Structure 1
Amino acid sequence: MNATTIRRWSFVHTWTSLICTLFLLLLALTGLPLIFHHELEHLLGDAPELRELPPGTPHLDLQQLVAAAERHRPGEVVQYLGWEDDEPNGVVTIMAATAGTEPNSSHTFMLDARNGEAVAMPAANGGFMMLMLRLHVDMFAGLPGKLLLAFMGVLFVVAIVSGVVLYAPFMRRLRFAEVRRDKAPRTRWLDLHNLIGIVTLSWALVVGVTGVISACADLVIAAWRNDTLAALTAPYRAAPPLTQRAPATDVLRIAAGAAPGMQPDFIAFPGTRFSSEHHYTVFLKGNTHLTAHLWTPVLIDAQSLAVTAVGTRPWYMDALALSQPLHFGDYGGRPMQILWALLDVLTIIVLGSGLYLWWSRRGPLPGTPHAAREVQR
C-alpha cells in the first residue's frame, strides 16, 4: 500500500470516526446498563412482583384478562397482551387511548393471570431504565432520532473497515499487540487504540450492524405491513368497519391449532400496527434459543374467530428479530452478558482514545490523520 492510498484510507477512518464518536459514546454508555436490564430492574425495584397465591391457582381466560385491564384503565383499549418466560403467571398488557396510538404514548403494566390484578411496571413507563432505553434507541427524537443513529452506525462500520485496512501497514514494523512503552504518551495511546480496536473488531462489527438494523425497526415494520400483512388481509379491504368482535377467550387455542409445536409470544388486537382492523393476530415463537426470537403470525377473524392466514416470515423481519437480542447479548445468559459488557467498556476506551489522538495531533495538515503519519514513520 503506497503513501497516497494510506493517506486516503486514513482520512476516511479519521473523519468517519470523528463524526460518529460522540453518538457512539452515548450508545456505548447507555447500552452498558441495558445489557443487565433484568438484573437492574430488580435491583432498582422496577420489576413487577406478583402476590403469592396457592400453587396451582388456575389462570383466568383471555377475555377475563381483557376485562380486568379495561377496569384498571377505563376509557382505554388493549393493544397487546404478551408473555415473558421468567414470569409464567404474568401477562404484559399494553393499553392506549386508541388501538392505533403510537408506542411511546401507550401504557404498560402486568396483569396477574390468576386473579387479574394489575401490577405496575415502572421500567416500561419511566425511570432510569426507560431513560437509558430511549436515549439508546432514538434520543427522544422518534423516527428522525432512530434514522440519525442508524446513519451513525453506518459510519461506525466504515470506520471499523478503514481501521482494519490501516492496521496491516501500521503493524509491519511492530510485533502483534506491541505497545511502545518507551515512547511518548500519544504513541502509547495510539498502540493501545489499535490493539483494543483489532481485539474488539468482530464484536464491534456485530453490534454496529445489528444496531443499524434495529434502528430501522420502524421502517422494517412498515415494509412488513405494506407487503406481507397487506397481502394476508387483502380479502378484507372492502369489508365494513368492525362494530363488534368476538371475545378473545379462545384465540390462543385456535392459534396453537393452526401452528402446532409453537408457543405464544404476544397478541396484537384489532387496529394495532401488528394486526389489521378485522383481526386478532397471535404471534407464535419456537422453543429453541434461535427460534424463540422468530415470529409466526396467525391471523384470526375478530368476528368469526376463523383462522384466515398463517403468515410466513420475510427475511427482513427475521433479520430484525435476530438482531435485537444479539445487539444486547441476550442469547447466551450471564456469561454472554459479562462478555458483552467487557467489550462495551473496551469500545468506550477505543472511542475515547481516538478522540484524544485526534485532539493531541500535531502537524501542518489538519486533514491528515494520526494513523497516516505513524504508518509512514
Structure 2
Amino acid sequence: MHIEKQPNSPAGGGILSNHRGVAILVAIGVVAVLLTAGLALNRRIRSSVTGAIHAREQVVLSEMAASGVQAAMVMLINDRKENDTDTLQEDWANPEKVAEMVELIPFDGGSIDVDITDERGKIQVNALVKFPEGQQFSATQRFLWERLLDRVFSLFEETPESDPNMIINSLKDWLDSGDDEAITGLSGAESDYYEGLEPSYSCKNGPFDHLAEVALVQGVIPELFSGVGAAAGLASLLTVHGESPAGDSRFTFDGKINISTANVAVLAALLPPENADLAEALADFRVAKADETFINPINNVQWYKNVPGAGGITISPDLIVASSDLFRIVSTARRNDRTHTINAVVQREKEQDTGRWICKTLIWQAE
C-alpha cells in the first residue's frame, strides 16, 4: 500500500525550520564577527589618527620652542655687537623686550615664553680647585664658598643635617686628581666613602660635567641642593660651565662672576661677611629707574662702590667681571593644552674664520 506524504507534514516542516534556524544563527555569527572586526579596525584607525595628531602636535611644539631659543640667540648676538658688557639693564634681560622679539616669529596658534639668564651670574663650582693642576684649593673661591654656605644655611628654619666645612672639603676631594686615598681635612670624602653607599659609586676626581653631580657629594643633602620654601638651593646658584683654555690642550676655570647679573645670594657671598646685608641694596641699585629709565650705570666692575654704604668695600678682582659669554635659555611652547620646553646653555663667541658672532650650543635638553 502506497502512502503519500502530505506537503504540510509536521515532520517535513521541522526539518525546514531547523535549516532556517541554523542559517539565521550563522548569519548572526557572521555579522557579529564582522561587527567585532569593524569595531577593532575602527579603534585601530582612531588610535592611529590620534597618535598622528599627537605626533604632529609634538613636532609643532618642538619647532616652536626651538624657534624661541633661536630668537634669544639673535638677541644675544645683537647685544654683543652693540657693547661688550652684560647687565640686567639690557634687552636680553628684560622679559618684555624678549616677548616682543618672540612675537616676530610667525606661527598658527599657541604661544612661546622665553627666559634668558646669565650663567656667569652664578658660582662656578669647578673653580673651587685650581686647574689645570687640579689638586689645590683656590683661596678666593674657598672664601666665596664659605660665605655662600653660611648664607644658605641661615635661610633654613631648621639647620640642615650637614656642615659647610664638610661640603667644601668633599667638593674639593670630588674635583681634585692624583690623590684618591687622601681626603681633605677631617671631613672630606674619597671613593671609599661613596663605594660604601647604597647605591654605590666612585668619587670622580675631576671637574663636574653636570650640575646634578653636585647632589652626589657628601653633605649636599636634597634640601640644600634643591632648596626648601624661600631658601634657594645650590642648584639655582651654581654652574658647571665656564671652561677656558690653559695651553697644551689643558683647561682652567677662572670662576669670575658677573656682578651685574648675579642674584642676591651670590652677591652676598661676594661681599665681606660683615657687609652681606648690603646684597639687597646692590640688587636694587642695578634696576633702579626714574621715568622708566635706568639711573645707575653698572657696566664696570667697580659700580658696587657707588651703592650707599658700600664705598669702603673691596671685592677681589679675581672674583668679578661685568660681562659674560655664557647664557641659559629656557623656551616653553604652549598649544592646545600641551607644552614643550627646551632648556639650552649657549656660549657666545666670535668665529675665527668669518669674524661673525655666534651662539654655540653647549646643552640642549627637551622637557
Same fold judged by TM-score > 0.5?
A: no
* Structure holding more helix per residue: 1
Q: Which has the larger radius of gyration?
A: 2
